[in-house]
Structure 1
């Protein structure tokens, strides 16, 4: 395949996924609009949003890259099965995704405290991040693996799918689960 054909192939595979990512980003923005109503109740909430979404991309982008490389090298089959490489990658990303969520809550609280800015209680910020982190971790892992495996089976290069898929899943479900976790913490914390 020459350079021109390779360019067309990459463009053909990536463009539909990028358009879906665009729609997902717009949807995430609409959900953020709903979260703004809770900012007064939980000062510091908006500080956590960009960091939370960025870490979804970092953690699960690494997972997607590992899976993509495993598929290319023939170390993984494109299906959900008990495979030590797959299990280790999934467990590592799950632990990282949840762990970094808790760290986001703690560091946000400390930063606001050091700056002398108003902040929600530490347990509220950590609670919001923990709930959202667990929920997004589950959806990101299952959704990302399903998209990569299905795309690979249909002849798509998983490298072209990982970035936009992680971004879209992370933004859409990250914002939805942040909104849900804010609602749960509002109900559970008087």
Structure 2
């Protein structure tokens, strides 16, 4: 008992910061779940969209949670004091998160299309999935990038440990932002369905250009982050798809 009380006393600051962040993340996750449950109509209109949701939220949290963690490390090491694209740490994190937010929606869409076929959810083509995943990623990624830097710099400026607050907050805020972004992208895709094939081809072309740029470019720091993050993101995305198989099957066959 004395050891526990001593531990709490010595780590009061860290416990307060972490507890507050975790409480907010739990609340945000509940809000995201409520929003998802109220979106059944759109999920029924586009079969397979429900399969895309877990992978998209997981991807967003992983990408920007890692950005927050890297910023926290940079603050501790004194590599960054203020926001500015001339700072190598800021520039590298902006570029790497942008690259991953463009590359992985295509992979995500391909897997969603595959799993939809396995479950017998006909109706949505792979171009539809690519369009929704890409637009949703751009919408949510743009907001989350700003939110991530805001949280990290605010925490540091207030004397908080960024490691205690950035990851849980970013992951939960990512859930809240990703769901409306995906649904907005789905609505736009339905509204302009005649253009989804052309749009998806443009996305694939952009993907090829980015991959060539990453491989042949001189920015080795960004390349290392993208390559290392890709392995983790791919494995976690596949796992999230398998985890949602039962839910998706029950949703459409109940």
Task: Normalising by structure 1, report the TM-score.
Answer: 0.91
Report deviation, 1:112.
2.5
Q: Residue 91 and residue 6 in structure 1: after superposition, are their counterparts in 2 closer, same or farther (change >3 A)?
A: farther
Instruction: Tell me, yes or no, if structure 1 residue 109 matches structure 2 residue 109.
Output: no
Quick check: which has more Rg, 1 or 2? Answer: 2
Secondary structure at 2:38 match in 1: helix
1:166 to 165, 170, 176: 170
Written as runs of structure 1 = structure 2, the 5 A alignment for 1:40-119 is: 40-114=44-118, 116-119=120-123
Report deviation, 1:3.
4.0
- Structure 1 CA distance, aligned partners of 2:183 and 2:23? 24
Query: Structure 2: where are the runs of 5+ without partners?
Result: 1-5, 195-254
Q: Deviations over 1:87-137 (max 9, x none)?
A: 111110111122112211111112323454425111111111111101111
- Structure 1 CA distance, aligned partners of 2:10 and 2:143? 32
Secondary structure at 2:81 match in 1: coil
Q: Which residue of 2 aligns with 1:33?
A: 37
Q: Which residue of 2 aligns with 1:14?
A: 18
Secondary structure at 1:94 match in 2: helix
Secondary structure at 1:134 match in 2: helix
Query: Structure 1: where are the runs of 5+ without partners?
Result: none
Secondary structure at 1:123 match in 2: helix
Task: Normalising by structure 2, report the TM-score.
Answer: 0.69
Secondary structure at 2:11 match in 1: helix
- Structure 1 CA distance, aligned partners of 2:154 and 2:52? 33
- Structure 1 CA distance, aligned partners of 2:183 and 2:35? 7
- Structure 2 CA distance, aligned partners of 1:92 and 1:142? 14
